[in-house]
Amino acid sequence: MTAVLLLGLIVLILLNVPIAFSLLAASILYLVLQGDVPLIAAAQRVVAGTDHYLLLAIPFFFLAAEIMSAGGIMERLVRFSSILVGHVCGGLAHMGVVSNMLLAGVSGSAIADAAGLGRILVDMMRNGGYGRGFAAAITGAAATIGPVIPPSIPFVVYGSIAGVSVGSLFLAGIVPGLLMGLFLMITSYVISKRRGYPLRPRAHMREVLVEGWRAMPVLMLPVIILGGILSGVFTPTEAAAVASAYAFILAKFVMKTISWLELGRVLIRVGRDTAKLMFIIASGSLFAWILAREGVPQAVATGFLSISREPWIVLALINVLLLLLGCFLEPIVILILVVPILAPLVGEIGVNLIQFGVIVTLNLMIGLITPPVGTIMFIMMGIANLRMEEFVKEVAPFFAALVFVLILTTYVPAFVLTVPNWLMAP
């Protein structure tokens, strides 16, 4: 019956049925054919899939990001980033990376970062003499930093599934996120040097201070989120609500860049995006429950451990599996389907579940820039008017840089665990 379940899902996906409906339909087909489970169980599992307090953080992080985008606040981050690194070889590419690193502390979503900053950064780079494909590739690759540097929507979902501290996951993502930015900038520097992209004049200290002051209210948001969680003032879910309230006050009353009408449109978009994501989580919960009922987690664990019980080999196999899945499925779907299966396995070989959460998230973010269905890839292709082969060719060096960071994150636990162990030690 497991074969029927998986085959049904694959067929529905190939027929271009939305993933939430594919998961739900395949699950109901299984229950009907199996016959020993009442269909009311489907409704119960779907409801139970979203009955997690942590998931309340998702709409609030969506709201904070949408308000920041609609309020024109992102432009301040771009100007400040340009002032900081615009004079270095490949400066506009570095500006894109730094802008995404700063925005990562606000949105928690790679797709939101790509859509929000993508056109701004690509246009600036093209006007500055950079190639169209290069501009799209570095902007798309830099957007993958969003869910690794806290806050992070995938970390919230992973924490609710694996039963680990979201606050620890947020802290664990800081160093890997910074490493992603560093290696993307190194790659950009090498490519820009080879291609002779133009330099920009160094900014005066007064410009740095002025733009830094203008961007300061935005830069305070991640400080508020992490500071509140670490100090125990509020939980990660409450931190998301505080972030939304702060973004609203900043955009509406301090900067006065968002109207009530636009705020209404923002709320509609947030409601729509939240509903879509929650429907996927609910349907995926039913599908994952059936997989567990069929003993798939134990079978997968047995299969991996039959190849080797060495942790480094098992982690390598998991990374390959996740990278392949990331080429075909959305990150949240993979989290829902794979984490319940793999979490017991990595626990058995002694891998910390906090570290594993960062490994999984980084794998899934890399998948967003890979064919055939990488969401960020399609966003950047649309913005820059590129063919898929053009984008893939340009993004390949940045893909390699991100995979190198993945290897470091996988095999050097200190990069992931030092910060949470230091700041959240009892």
Q: What is the pLDDT of residue 108?
A: 67
DSSP secondary structure, 331-352, as one string? HHHHHHHHHHHHHHHHHHTT--
Three state DSSP letters for the chain:
CHHHHHHHHHHHHHCCCCHHHHHHHHHHHHHHHHCCCCCHHHHHHHHHHCCCHHHHHHHHHHHHHHHHHHCCCHHHHHHHHHHHHCCCCCHHHHHHHHHHHHHHCCCCCHHHHHHHHHHHHHHHHHHCCCCHHHHHHHHHHHHCCCCCCCCCHHHHHHHHHHCCCHHHHHHHCHHHHHHHHHHHHHHHHHHHHHHCCCCCCCCCHHHHHHHHHHHHHHHHHHHHHHHHHHHCCCCHHHHHHHHHHHHHHHHHHHCCCCCHHHHHHHHHHHHHHHHHHHHHHHHHHHHHHHHHHCCHHHHHHHHHHHHCCCHHHHHHHHHHHHHHHHCCCCHHHHHHHHHHHHHHHHHHCCCCHHHHHHHHHHHHHHHCCCCCCCHHHHHHHHHHCCCHHHHHHHHHHHHHHHHHHHHHHHHCCHHHHHHHHHHCCC
3-class state of residue 52 by DSSP: coil
CA distance 79 to 215: 9
Q: What is the pLDDT of residue 200?
A: 76
Highest-scoring range by mean pLDDT, 337-351, 371-385, 389-403: 389-403
If you average pLDDT over residues 407-420, what whole number do you get? 95
Task: Give the other-Cβ count within 10 Å of 316's Cβ.
Answer: 15
- Statement: residue 426 has pLDDT above 60: no
Q: What is the pLDDT of residue 293?
A: 79
pLDDT in tens, 90-133: 888 888 898 888 877 666 677 777 777 787 888 888 888 899 99
Q: What is the pLDDT of residue 251?
A: 85
Q: What is the pLDDT of residue 395?
A: 95
- Statement: residue 414 has pLDDT above 90: yes
Contact 225, 242 (CB under 8 A): yes
Instruction: Output 264 or 424, whichever has higher pLDDT.
Output: 264
Q: What is the pLDDT of residue 148?
A: 93
Closest CA to 346 of 310, 377, 379, 384: 310
- Going from N- to C-terminal start, the domains of the chain cover 38-423
Closest CA to 316 of 304, 303, 333: 304
Q: What is the pLDDT of residue 106?
A: 67
- Statement: residue 165 has pLDDT above 80: yes
Average pLDDT score over the chain: 85
- Please report which confidence band the pLDDT of residue 178 belongs to, taking 50, 70 and 90 as the band edges: very high
